A and B are shown apart, each in its own frame.
Chain A
Protein backbone atom coordinates (compact mmCIF):
# COMPACT_ATOMS: atom_id res chain seq x y z
CA UNK A 1 0.00 0.00 0.00
CA UNK A 2 1.27 3.47 -0.91
CA UNK A 3 1.26 6.35 1.58
CA UNK A 4 -1.57 8.84 0.97
CA UNK A 5 -2.33 12.35 2.16
CA UNK A 6 -5.07 14.97 2.11
CA UNK A 7 -3.89 18.05 0.21
CA UNK A 8 -7.05 20.15 0.09
CA UNK A 9 -10.38 20.67 1.84
CA UNK A 10 -13.52 22.64 1.06
CA UNK A 11 -16.76 23.35 2.86
CA UNK A 12 -19.92 25.25 2.10
CA UNK A 13 -21.36 27.71 4.54
CA UNK A 14 -23.65 25.36 6.44
CA UNK A 15 -27.08 26.66 7.40
CA UNK A 16 -30.59 25.57 8.32
CA UNK A 17 -31.77 26.21 4.78
CA UNK A 18 -29.64 26.78 1.70
CA UNK A 19 -32.50 27.52 -0.69
CA UNK A 20 -30.14 29.62 -2.79
CA UNK A 21 -28.71 26.43 -4.34
CA UNK A 22 -29.86 23.05 -5.66
CA UNK A 23 -28.22 19.84 -4.43
CA UNK A 24 -25.72 19.67 -7.34
CA UNK A 25 -24.87 23.35 -6.85
CA UNK A 26 -24.26 22.77 -3.15
CA UNK A 27 -21.93 19.87 -4.01
CA UNK A 28 -20.09 21.95 -6.61
CA UNK A 29 -19.53 24.70 -4.02
CA UNK A 30 -17.64 22.36 -1.66
CA UNK A 31 -15.89 20.42 -4.46
CA UNK A 32 -14.62 23.62 -6.11
CA UNK A 33 -13.33 24.99 -2.84
CA UNK A 34 -11.45 21.74 -2.13
CA UNK A 35 -9.82 21.73 -5.59
CA UNK A 36 -8.91 25.43 -5.19
CA UNK A 37 -7.40 24.64 -1.79
CA UNK A 38 -5.33 21.85 -3.36
CA UNK A 39 -4.39 23.99 -6.36
CA UNK A 40 -5.94 21.51 -8.81
CA UNK A 41 -8.31 21.62 -11.77
CA UNK A 42 -11.32 19.30 -12.29
CA UNK A 43 -9.36 17.43 -15.00
CA UNK A 44 -6.76 16.45 -12.37
CA UNK A 45 -9.28 14.33 -10.46
CA UNK A 46 -9.03 10.58 -11.23
CA UNK A 47 -12.02 9.31 -9.23
CA UNK A 48 -14.91 10.62 -7.14
CA UNK A 49 -16.62 9.23 -4.03
CA UNK A 50 -19.92 10.65 -2.74
CA UNK A 51 -21.72 10.50 0.59
CA UNK A 52 -25.41 11.31 1.17
CA UNK A 53 -28.45 9.91 3.02
CA UNK A 54 -30.95 10.14 0.18
CA UNK A 55 -33.94 9.12 2.29
CA UNK A 56 -33.73 12.50 4.01
CA UNK A 57 -34.27 14.36 0.73
CA UNK A 58 -36.39 11.71 -1.03
CA UNK A 59 -34.36 12.00 -4.22
CA UNK A 60 -33.41 8.68 -5.84
CA UNK A 61 -29.90 8.22 -7.26
CA UNK A 62 -28.38 11.38 -5.78
CA UNK A 63 -25.01 10.17 -7.11
CA UNK A 64 -26.43 10.57 -10.61
CA UNK A 65 -27.86 14.02 -9.92
CA UNK A 66 -24.88 15.52 -8.12
CA UNK A 67 -21.97 13.56 -9.64
CA UNK A 68 -21.50 16.22 -12.29
CA UNK A 69 -21.28 18.84 -9.54
CA UNK A 70 -18.35 16.82 -8.17
CA UNK A 71 -16.64 16.78 -11.58
CA UNK A 72 -17.31 13.03 -12.00
CA UNK A 73 -18.35 12.88 -15.67
CA UNK A 74 -16.24 10.32 -17.50
CA UNK A 75 -14.58 9.15 -14.28
CA UNK A 76 -15.13 6.37 -11.74
CA UNK A 77 -17.81 7.63 -9.32
CA UNK A 78 -19.68 5.85 -6.54
CA UNK A 79 -21.54 6.52 -3.32
CA UNK A 80 -20.65 4.97 0.05
CA UNK A 81 -23.41 4.35 2.60
CA UNK A 82 -22.83 3.52 6.29
CA UNK A 83 -25.44 5.69 8.00
CA UNK A 84 -24.02 8.77 9.68
CA UNK A 85 -20.56 7.29 9.23
CA UNK A 86 -20.95 7.58 5.44
CA UNK A 87 -18.77 10.69 5.30
CA UNK A 88 -15.82 9.20 7.19
CA UNK A 89 -16.27 5.86 5.41
CA UNK A 90 -16.17 7.70 2.06
CA UNK A 91 -12.91 9.37 3.09
CA UNK A 92 -11.49 5.98 4.10
CA UNK A 93 -12.59 4.50 0.75
CA UNK A 94 -10.79 7.39 -0.94
CA UNK A 95 -7.64 6.62 1.08
CA UNK A 96 -7.87 2.98 0.00
CA UNK A 97 -8.29 3.90 -3.67
CA UNK A 98 -5.22 6.12 -3.64
CA UNK A 99 -3.19 3.72 -1.44
CA UNK A 100 -3.95 0.79 -3.74
CA UNK A 101 -2.31 2.47 -6.69
CA UNK A 102 -5.55 2.55 -8.68
CA UNK A 103 -5.79 6.35 -8.64
CA UNK A 104 -3.51 9.28 -7.81
CA UNK A 105 -6.12 11.95 -7.00
CA UNK A 106 -9.48 11.09 -5.42
CA UNK A 107 -12.12 13.70 -4.63
CA UNK A 108 -14.48 12.81 -1.75
CA UNK A 109 -17.64 14.89 -1.35
CA UNK A 110 -20.43 14.55 1.23
CA UNK A 111 -23.64 16.56 1.29
CA UNK A 112 -27.09 16.83 2.82
CA UNK A 113 -30.01 19.23 2.43
CA UNK A 114 -32.20 18.40 5.40
CA UNK A 115 -34.38 21.42 4.69
CA UNK A 116 -35.69 19.78 1.51
CA UNK A 117 -37.24 16.70 3.07
CA UNK A 118 -38.11 14.77 6.20
CA UNK A 119 -35.28 13.79 8.49
CA UNK A 120 -37.71 12.08 10.86
CA UNK A 121 -39.02 9.89 8.02
CA UNK A 122 -35.49 8.75 7.31
CA UNK A 123 -35.02 7.87 10.97
CA UNK A 124 -38.48 6.33 11.56
CA UNK A 125 -38.30 3.65 8.86
CA UNK A 126 -36.75 0.97 11.07
CA UNK A 127 -37.45 -2.80 11.11
CA UNK A 128 -41.21 -3.05 10.46
CA UNK A 129 -41.42 -6.29 12.47
CA UNK A 130 -39.50 -5.23 15.55
CA UNK A 131 -39.20 -1.58 16.53
CA UNK A 132 -41.03 0.42 13.85
CA UNK A 133 -43.98 1.00 16.20
CA UNK A 134 -41.83 2.68 18.86
CA UNK A 135 -38.83 4.11 16.98
CA UNK A 136 -38.08 7.67 18.07
CA UNK A 137 -35.04 8.44 15.97
CA UNK A 138 -31.51 9.29 16.99
CA UNK A 139 -32.97 11.42 19.77
CA UNK A 140 -34.84 8.50 21.36
CA UNK A 141 -31.92 6.11 20.98
CA UNK A 142 -29.46 8.54 22.53
CA UNK A 143 -31.80 9.45 25.36
CA UNK A 144 -32.18 5.77 26.24
CA UNK A 145 -28.44 5.22 26.28
CA UNK A 146 -27.80 8.36 28.28
CA UNK A 147 -29.95 7.08 31.16
CA UNK A 148 -27.63 4.11 31.39
CA UNK A 149 -24.47 6.19 31.06
CA UNK A 150 -25.63 8.58 33.78
CA UNK A 151 -26.56 5.70 36.07
CA UNK A 152 -23.22 3.94 35.54
CA UNK A 153 -20.83 6.90 35.51
CA UNK A 154 -22.64 9.66 37.41
CA UNK A 155 -22.22 12.31 34.70
CA UNK A 156 -24.37 15.42 35.32
CA UNK A 157 -26.60 17.57 33.09
CA UNK A 158 -24.33 20.52 33.82
CA UNK A 159 -21.23 18.65 32.67
CA UNK A 160 -23.03 17.75 29.43
CA UNK A 161 -24.10 21.39 29.01
CA UNK A 162 -20.44 22.41 29.13
CA UNK A 163 -19.89 20.43 25.92
CA UNK A 164 -22.56 22.50 24.14
CA UNK A 165 -21.08 25.74 25.48
CA UNK A 166 -17.63 24.74 24.20
CA UNK A 167 -19.11 23.81 20.84
CA UNK A 168 -21.07 27.02 20.31
CA UNK A 169 -18.15 29.20 21.43
CA UNK A 170 -15.65 27.36 19.20
CA UNK A 171 -18.09 27.64 16.29
CA UNK A 172 -17.98 31.42 16.65
CA UNK A 173 -14.45 31.17 15.20
CA UNK A 174 -15.60 29.00 12.28
CA UNK A 175 -17.20 30.83 9.31
CA UNK A 176 -18.73 27.57 8.01
CA UNK A 177 -20.65 26.74 11.21
CA UNK A 178 -24.45 26.63 11.18
CA UNK A 179 -24.91 27.52 14.87
CA UNK A 180 -22.53 29.65 16.89
CA UNK A 181 -22.62 31.84 19.98
CA UNK A 182 -19.46 33.33 21.46
CA UNK A 183 -21.39 34.06 24.67
CA UNK A 184 -23.18 30.72 25.15
CA UNK A 185 -23.65 29.71 28.80
CA UNK A 186 -24.51 26.57 30.74
CA UNK A 187 -27.81 28.24 31.68
CA UNK A 188 -28.65 28.70 27.98
CA UNK A 189 -28.31 24.95 27.49
CA UNK A 190 -30.20 23.90 30.62
CA UNK A 191 -32.99 26.40 29.87
CA UNK A 192 -33.39 25.28 26.26
CA UNK A 193 -36.38 23.11 25.43
CA UNK A 194 -36.39 19.51 26.70
CA UNK A 195 -36.59 17.18 23.67
CA UNK A 196 -36.24 13.79 25.38
CA UNK A 197 -35.13 13.47 28.97
CA UNK A 198 -32.38 14.53 29.72
CA UNK A 199 -31.56 15.97 26.26
CA UNK A 200 -32.23 19.69 25.82
CA UNK A 201 -32.37 21.37 22.41
CA UNK A 202 -28.82 22.70 22.77
CA UNK A 203 -27.53 19.25 23.77
CA UNK A 204 -28.53 17.87 20.36
CA UNK A 205 -27.00 18.37 16.90
CA UNK A 206 -29.00 20.43 14.40
CA UNK A 207 -30.19 19.45 10.91
CA UNK A 208 -28.15 21.47 8.45
CA UNK A 209 -27.83 22.04 4.72
CA UNK A 210 -24.22 21.76 3.64
CA UNK A 211 -21.46 19.94 1.80
CA UNK A 212 -17.79 19.20 2.42
CA UNK A 213 -14.98 17.78 0.30
CA UNK A 214 -11.40 16.56 0.61
CA UNK A 215 -8.75 15.94 -2.02
CA UNK A 216 -6.83 12.69 -1.42
CA UNK A 217 -3.49 12.27 -3.16
CA UNK A 218 -0.99 9.45 -3.53
CA UNK A 219 2.26 10.08 -1.65
CA UNK A 220 4.25 11.06 -4.73
CA UNK A 221 1.58 13.53 -5.88
CA UNK A 222 1.13 14.89 -2.36
CA UNK A 223 4.84 15.72 -2.07
CA UNK A 224 4.77 17.53 -5.42
CA UNK A 225 1.51 19.41 -4.87
CA UNK A 226 1.60 20.35 -1.19
CA UNK A 227 4.24 21.89 1.04
CA UNK A 228 2.60 20.39 4.12
CA UNK A 229 0.30 17.45 3.32
CA UNK A 230 -1.95 15.89 5.99
CA UNK A 231 -0.71 12.30 5.88
CA UNK A 232 -3.07 9.45 6.61
CA UNK A 233 -1.43 7.60 9.48
CA UNK A 234 -4.28 5.18 10.14
CA UNK A 235 -7.92 4.53 9.27
CA UNK A 236 -10.20 1.90 10.78
CA UNK A 237 -13.91 1.11 10.56
CA UNK A 238 -16.18 -1.30 12.45
CA UNK A 239 -19.71 -2.63 11.95
CA UNK A 240 -22.11 -3.89 14.64
CA UNK A 241 -25.20 -6.08 15.06
CA UNK A 242 -28.46 -4.63 13.69
CA UNK A 243 -30.63 -3.83 16.74
CA UNK A 244 -30.02 -1.36 19.54
CA UNK A 245 -31.04 -4.10 21.97
CA UNK A 246 -28.29 -6.38 20.60
CA UNK A 247 -25.53 -4.12 21.76
CA UNK A 248 -24.29 -5.06 25.17
CA UNK A 249 -22.78 -1.68 25.86
CA UNK A 250 -25.11 0.61 23.89
CA UNK A 251 -24.25 3.75 21.98
CA UNK A 252 -22.27 5.49 24.62
CA UNK A 253 -19.83 2.71 25.29
CA UNK A 254 -19.70 1.46 21.74
CA UNK A 255 -17.42 -1.47 20.98
CA UNK A 256 -17.35 -0.24 17.37
CA UNK A 257 -15.71 3.05 18.35
CA UNK A 258 -13.51 1.42 20.98
CA UNK A 259 -12.23 -1.20 18.53
CA UNK A 260 -11.85 1.20 15.57
CA UNK A 261 -9.92 3.72 17.66
CA UNK A 262 -7.71 1.06 19.28
CA UNK A 263 -6.90 -0.34 15.85
CA UNK A 264 -6.07 3.13 14.47
CA UNK A 265 -3.99 4.00 17.55
CA UNK A 266 -1.99 0.76 17.18
CA UNK A 267 -1.26 1.46 13.51
CA UNK A 268 -0.28 5.08 14.21
CA UNK A 269 1.79 4.21 17.29
CA UNK A 270 -0.42 6.12 19.71
CA UNK A 271 -0.33 4.82 23.25
CA UNK A 272 -1.26 8.00 25.16
CA UNK A 273 -3.93 9.75 23.06
CA UNK A 274 -4.31 12.73 25.42
CA UNK A 275 -0.59 13.51 25.10
CA UNK A 276 0.12 12.41 21.54
CA UNK A 277 -2.92 13.89 19.77
CA UNK A 278 -2.84 17.65 19.18
CA UNK A 279 -6.57 17.82 18.51
CA UNK A 280 -9.59 15.65 17.81
CA UNK A 281 -12.61 16.24 15.57
CA UNK A 282 -15.08 13.68 16.87
CA UNK A 283 -18.59 12.97 15.59
CA UNK A 284 -20.60 14.01 18.68
CA UNK A 285 -24.32 14.04 17.79
CA UNK A 286 -25.24 14.85 21.41
CA UNK A 287 -23.31 16.40 24.31
CA UNK A 288 -23.40 13.26 26.45
CA UNK A 289 -21.89 11.24 23.60
CA UNK A 290 -18.85 13.51 23.53
CA UNK A 291 -18.30 12.84 27.23
CA UNK A 292 -18.79 9.10 26.88
CA UNK A 293 -16.46 8.98 23.91
CA UNK A 294 -13.66 10.79 25.81
CA UNK A 295 -13.62 7.57 27.83
CA UNK A 296 -13.97 5.19 24.87
CA UNK A 297 -11.25 7.03 22.94
CA UNK A 298 -8.91 6.79 25.91
CA UNK A 299 -8.66 10.52 26.61
CA UNK A 300 -9.44 9.71 30.27
CA UNK A 301 -10.39 6.81 32.51
CA UNK A 302 -13.99 5.58 32.75
CA UNK A 303 -16.05 7.99 34.83
CA UNK A 304 -13.58 10.86 34.41
CA UNK A 305 -15.12 12.58 31.35
CA UNK A 306 -17.13 15.06 33.41
CA UNK A 307 -13.97 16.22 35.15
CA UNK A 308 -12.13 16.47 31.83
CA UNK A 309 -14.65 18.96 30.40
CA UNK A 310 -14.85 20.88 33.71
CA UNK A 311 -11.06 21.27 33.78
CA UNK A 312 -11.04 22.65 30.24
CA UNK A 313 -8.70 19.92 29.01
CA UNK A 314 -10.69 19.58 25.77
CA UNK A 315 -11.24 23.34 25.31
CA UNK A 316 -9.67 25.12 22.37
CA UNK A 317 -6.76 26.21 24.59
CA UNK A 318 -6.63 22.93 26.51
CA UNK A 319 -4.21 20.02 26.37
CA UNK A 320 -6.32 18.20 23.77
CA UNK A 321 -8.77 20.49 21.97
CA UNK A 322 -11.84 18.47 20.93
CA UNK A 323 -13.88 19.87 18.05
CA UNK A 324 -12.22 23.29 17.72
CA UNK A 325 -14.52 23.74 14.68
CA UNK A 326 -17.61 23.58 16.89
CA UNK A 327 -18.27 19.97 15.93
CA UNK A 328 -21.48 18.25 14.93
CA UNK A 329 -23.41 20.23 17.55
CA UNK A 330 -22.73 23.33 15.45
CA UNK A 331 -23.22 21.93 11.93
CA UNK A 332 -24.76 18.65 10.84
CA UNK A 333 -25.48 18.05 7.16
CA UNK A 334 -25.39 14.28 7.85
CA UNK A 335 -23.92 12.98 4.58
CA UNK A 336 -21.23 15.65 4.89
CA UNK A 337 -20.74 15.52 8.66
CA UNK A 338 -18.10 12.77 8.61
CA UNK A 339 -16.28 14.46 5.73
CA UNK A 340 -16.28 17.68 7.78
CA UNK A 341 -14.58 15.86 10.68
CA UNK A 342 -11.80 14.62 8.39
CA UNK A 343 -11.60 17.93 6.50
CA UNK A 344 -11.29 19.88 9.75
CA UNK A 345 -8.60 17.53 11.08
CA UNK A 346 -6.75 17.83 7.75
CA UNK A 347 -7.08 21.64 7.66
CA UNK A 348 -5.42 21.75 11.09
CA UNK A 349 -2.44 19.72 9.85
CA UNK A 350 -2.30 21.78 6.64
CA UNK A 351 -2.23 24.88 8.87
CA UNK A 352 -5.28 26.35 7.14
CA UNK A 353 -7.96 26.15 9.88
CA UNK A 354 -8.21 29.93 10.24
CA UNK A 355 -9.37 31.41 13.53
CA UNK A 356 -9.75 27.97 15.14
CA UNK A 357 -6.26 26.79 14.10
CA UNK A 358 -4.46 24.87 16.84
CA UNK A 359 -0.91 26.19 16.65
CA UNK A 360 1.63 23.61 15.57
CA UNK A 361 -0.91 20.80 15.13
CA UNK A 362 0.96 17.69 13.99
CA UNK A 363 -1.33 14.78 14.88
CA UNK A 364 -5.14 14.79 14.67
CA UNK A 365 -7.92 12.27 15.22
CA UNK A 366 -11.23 12.30 13.31
CA UNK A 367 -14.07 9.92 14.11
CA UNK A 368 -17.37 8.94 12.51
CA UNK A 369 -20.57 7.67 14.09
CA UNK A 370 -23.40 5.86 12.25
CA UNK A 371 -26.70 4.93 13.88
CA UNK A 372 -25.43 2.59 16.63
CA UNK A 373 -23.93 0.21 14.14
CA UNK A 374 -20.83 1.83 12.70
CA UNK A 375 -17.77 3.74 13.87
CA UNK A 376 -14.75 5.04 11.99
CA UNK A 377 -11.44 6.41 13.25
CA UNK A 378 -8.90 8.32 11.15
CA UNK A 379 -5.52 9.62 12.30
CA UNK A 380 -3.73 12.29 10.29
CA UNK A 381 -0.19 13.52 10.78
CA UNK A 382 2.32 16.04 9.48
CA UNK A 383 4.86 13.32 8.63
CA UNK A 384 4.47 10.13 6.57
Chain B
Protein backbone atom coordinates (compact mmCIF):
# COMPACT_ATOMS: atom_id res chain seq x y z
CA UNK B 1 0.00 0.00 0.00
CA UNK B 2 1.22 3.51 -0.77
CA UNK B 3 2.16 5.92 2.02
CA UNK B 4 -0.61 8.09 3.50
CA UNK B 5 -0.60 11.65 2.18
CA UNK B 6 -1.03 14.60 4.56
CA UNK B 7 -0.57 18.36 4.14
CA UNK B 8 1.49 20.18 6.81
CA UNK B 9 0.52 23.86 7.34
CA UNK B 10 2.24 26.43 9.55
CA UNK B 11 1.21 30.08 9.75
CA UNK B 12 1.59 33.19 11.91
CA UNK B 13 -1.56 35.27 12.41
CA UNK B 14 -2.65 38.29 14.43
CA UNK B 15 -5.87 39.47 16.05
CA UNK B 16 -7.09 42.74 17.61
CA UNK B 17 -9.97 42.84 20.10
CA UNK B 18 -12.00 45.80 21.39
CA UNK B 19 -12.55 46.09 25.14
CA UNK B 20 -15.88 47.91 25.47
CA UNK B 21 -16.45 50.63 28.09
CA UNK B 22 -16.45 48.46 31.23
CA UNK B 23 -13.19 46.68 30.49
CA UNK B 24 -11.65 49.96 29.34
CA UNK B 25 -12.25 51.52 32.77
CA UNK B 26 -10.97 48.37 34.51
CA UNK B 27 -7.83 48.26 32.36
CA UNK B 28 -7.07 51.93 32.95
CA UNK B 29 -7.52 51.27 36.69
CA UNK B 30 -5.10 48.38 36.99
CA UNK B 31 -2.48 50.50 35.25
CA UNK B 32 -2.52 52.28 38.64
CA UNK B 33 -3.02 49.09 40.71
CA UNK B 34 -6.66 50.10 41.21
CA UNK B 35 -9.17 47.24 40.94
CA UNK B 36 -12.86 48.01 40.56
CA UNK B 37 -15.87 45.73 40.14
CA UNK B 38 -19.37 46.57 38.93
CA UNK B 39 -22.30 45.94 41.28
CA UNK B 40 -25.83 44.92 40.33
CA UNK B 41 -28.44 47.16 41.99
CA UNK B 42 -30.88 44.25 42.07
CA UNK B 43 -29.01 41.10 43.19
CA UNK B 44 -26.12 43.12 44.74
CA UNK B 45 -23.58 40.82 43.04
CA UNK B 46 -20.20 42.51 42.48
CA UNK B 47 -18.73 41.33 39.18
CA UNK B 48 -15.18 40.78 37.96
CA UNK B 49 -14.51 41.04 35.12
CA UNK B 50 -16.69 44.15 34.90
CA UNK B 51 -19.37 44.03 32.23
CA UNK B 52 -22.26 46.21 31.07
CA UNK B 53 -25.19 43.99 32.12
CA UNK B 54 -25.98 41.54 34.97
CA UNK B 55 -26.63 38.33 33.09
CA UNK B 56 -28.92 37.02 35.82
CA UNK B 57 -31.06 40.14 36.32
CA UNK B 58 -30.72 41.63 32.80
CA UNK B 59 -30.11 45.09 34.29
CA UNK B 60 -27.43 47.61 33.35
CA UNK B 61 -24.44 47.69 35.68
CA UNK B 62 -23.44 51.29 36.43
CA UNK B 63 -22.22 51.25 40.06
CA UNK B 64 -18.48 50.76 40.49
CA UNK B 65 -17.10 49.46 43.80
CA UNK B 66 -13.50 49.19 45.02
CA UNK B 67 -11.89 45.74 45.30
CA UNK B 68 -8.88 44.81 47.46
CA UNK B 69 -5.64 43.30 46.19
CA UNK B 70 -6.05 40.65 48.91
CA UNK B 71 -8.47 37.73 48.75
CA UNK B 72 -9.20 34.08 49.49
CA UNK B 73 -8.01 31.07 47.48
CA UNK B 74 -11.22 29.27 46.54
CA UNK B 75 -9.64 26.63 44.27
CA UNK B 76 -6.13 25.71 43.18
CA UNK B 77 -4.02 23.33 41.14
CA UNK B 78 -0.47 22.78 39.98
CA UNK B 79 -0.23 22.28 36.21
CA UNK B 80 2.56 19.92 35.08
CA UNK B 81 1.61 19.50 31.42
CA UNK B 82 3.12 22.26 29.25
CA UNK B 83 0.18 24.35 28.00
CA UNK B 84 -0.09 26.65 25.03
CA UNK B 85 -0.06 30.37 25.87
CA UNK B 86 -3.02 31.82 23.94
CA UNK B 87 -1.24 35.18 23.55
CA UNK B 88 1.97 33.95 21.97
CA UNK B 89 1.37 30.42 20.70
CA UNK B 90 4.39 29.31 22.74
CA UNK B 91 4.27 26.53 25.31
CA UNK B 92 4.21 27.54 28.97
CA UNK B 93 6.27 25.02 30.91
CA UNK B 94 5.09 23.41 34.15
CA UNK B 95 4.92 23.02 36.96
CA UNK B 96 3.09 26.22 37.80
CA UNK B 97 0.47 27.01 40.43
CA UNK B 98 -2.96 28.32 39.42
CA UNK B 99 -5.85 29.46 41.55
CA UNK B 100 -9.31 30.96 41.65
CA UNK B 101 -9.07 33.90 44.04
CA UNK B 102 -12.05 35.78 45.46
CA UNK B 103 -10.67 39.28 46.07
CA UNK B 104 -12.20 41.08 49.05
CA UNK B 105 -14.97 43.27 47.64
CA UNK B 106 -15.86 40.98 44.71
CA UNK B 107 -18.41 38.16 44.54
CA UNK B 108 -16.81 36.38 41.57
CA UNK B 109 -13.37 34.80 41.47
CA UNK B 110 -10.36 35.62 39.34
CA UNK B 111 -8.13 32.92 37.82
CA UNK B 112 -4.43 33.59 37.92
CA UNK B 113 -1.01 32.16 38.63
CA UNK B 114 0.28 31.41 42.12
CA UNK B 115 3.94 31.76 43.09
CA UNK B 116 3.66 28.37 44.82
CA UNK B 117 3.84 25.11 42.81
CA UNK B 118 4.09 22.62 45.68
CA UNK B 119 0.67 20.94 46.19
CA UNK B 120 1.55 20.28 49.84
CA UNK B 121 1.70 24.02 50.48
CA UNK B 122 -1.63 24.97 48.87
CA UNK B 123 -5.09 24.74 50.38
CA UNK B 124 -8.57 26.11 49.79
CA UNK B 125 -9.16 29.08 52.09
CA UNK B 126 -5.61 30.48 52.11
CA UNK B 127 -5.33 34.26 52.04
CA UNK B 128 -3.52 35.52 48.93
CA UNK B 129 -2.24 38.89 47.72
CA UNK B 130 -1.55 40.24 44.22
CA UNK B 131 2.10 40.65 43.24
CA UNK B 132 2.27 43.34 40.53
CA UNK B 133 4.80 43.56 37.74
CA UNK B 134 7.23 46.46 37.86
CA UNK B 135 6.02 47.87 34.52
CA UNK B 136 2.23 48.23 34.29
CA UNK B 137 0.48 48.47 30.94
CA UNK B 138 -3.20 48.03 31.77
CA UNK B 139 -3.75 44.30 31.19
CA UNK B 140 -4.34 41.26 33.37
CA UNK B 141 -0.73 40.20 33.07
CA UNK B 142 0.14 43.33 35.08
CA UNK B 143 -0.57 40.81 37.84
CA UNK B 144 2.55 38.63 37.96
CA UNK B 145 0.98 36.10 40.31
CA UNK B 146 -0.58 35.74 43.77
CA UNK B 147 1.41 35.00 46.92
CA UNK B 148 0.28 33.84 50.35
CA UNK B 149 -0.36 36.63 52.86
CA UNK B 150 2.10 35.91 55.64
Contact surface of A with B, Cβ cutoff 8 Å: 19-20, 58, 118, 120-121, 124-137, 139-140, 143-148, 151, 193-198, 241-246, 250
Contact A245/B83 with A134-B112, A147-B76 known, Cβ cut-off 8 Å: no
- A135 and B100 alpha carbons, distance in the complex (Å): 12
Which B residues lie within 8 Å of A197 (CB)?
Answer: 77-78, 80, 119
Contact B108 A246 (CB under 8 A): yes
Contact A245 B110 (CB under 8 A): yes
Residue of B nearest to A135 (CB): B86
- A137 and B85 alpha carbons, distance in the complex (Å): 10
Separation in Å of the A128 CB from the closest CB of chain B? 5
Separation in Å of the A198 CB from the closest CB of chain B? 8
Max chain B Cβ within 10 angstroms of own Cβ: one of A125, A144, A146: A144
Dominant SS among interface residues on chain A: loop
Separation in Å of the A113 CB from the closest CB of chain B? 11
Which B residues lie within 8 Å of A246 (CB)?
Answer: 47, 55, 108
Interchain pairs with CB closer than 8 A, number: 119
Which A residues lie within 8 Å of B108 (CB)?
Answer: 243, 245-246
- A361 and B84 alpha carbons, distance in the complex (Å): 43
A-B pairs, 5 with minimum CB distance:
A124-B86, A143-B77, A245-B109, A120-B84, A144-B75
Which B residues lie within 8 Å of A148 (CB)?
Answer: 74-75, 124
Contact A196/B80 with A127-B49, A145-B75, A151-B124 known, Cβ cut-off 8 Å: yes
Please provide the chain B residues from 81 to 110 with a CB less than 8 Å away from any CB of chain A in the complex: 81, 83-87, 89, 92, 94, 98-100, 108-110
Contact B124 A136 (CB under 8 A): no
Contact A134/B77 with A124-B86, A245-B100 known, Cβ cut-off 8 Å: no
Contact A140/B19 with A134-B111, A244-B100 known, Cβ cut-off 8 Å: no
Q: From A127, A129, A137, A146, give the contact of B83 (CB < 8 A).
A: A137
Residue of B nearest to A131 (CB): B111
* A130-B49, A148-B75, A151-B125 given; 10 more Cβ-contact pairs under 8 Å: A121-B84, A124-B84, A131-B111, A136-B79, A143-B98, A146-B77, A195-B80, A196-B77, A197-B80, A245-B109
Separation in Å of the B15 CB from the closest CB of chain A? 8
For the complex, is B23 an interface residue (Cβ under 8 Å from A)? Answer: yes
Which A residues lie within 8 Å of B141 (CB)?
Answer: 133
Which A residues lie within 8 Å of B2 (CB)?
Answer: none
Contact A133 B140 (CB under 8 A): yes
- A245 and B139 alpha carbons, distance in the complex (Å): 18
Contact A118/B80 with A20-B4, A129-B140, A148-B74 known, Cβ cut-off 8 Å: no
Which B residues lie within 8 Å of A194 (CB)?
Answer: 80
Separation in Å of the B62 CB from the closest CB of chain A? 19
For the complex, is B6 an interface residue (Cβ under 8 Å from A)? Answer: yes
Q: List 24 A-B contacts (CB under 8 A).
A: A124-B84, A128-B87, A129-B17, A129-B139, A133-B87, A134-B112, A135-B83, A136-B79, A140-B77, A144-B76, A144-B77, A144-B100, A147-B124, A148-B124, A151-B123, A193-B80, A195-B80, A196-B77, A197-B119, A242-B55, A245-B100, A245-B109, A246-B108, A250-B75
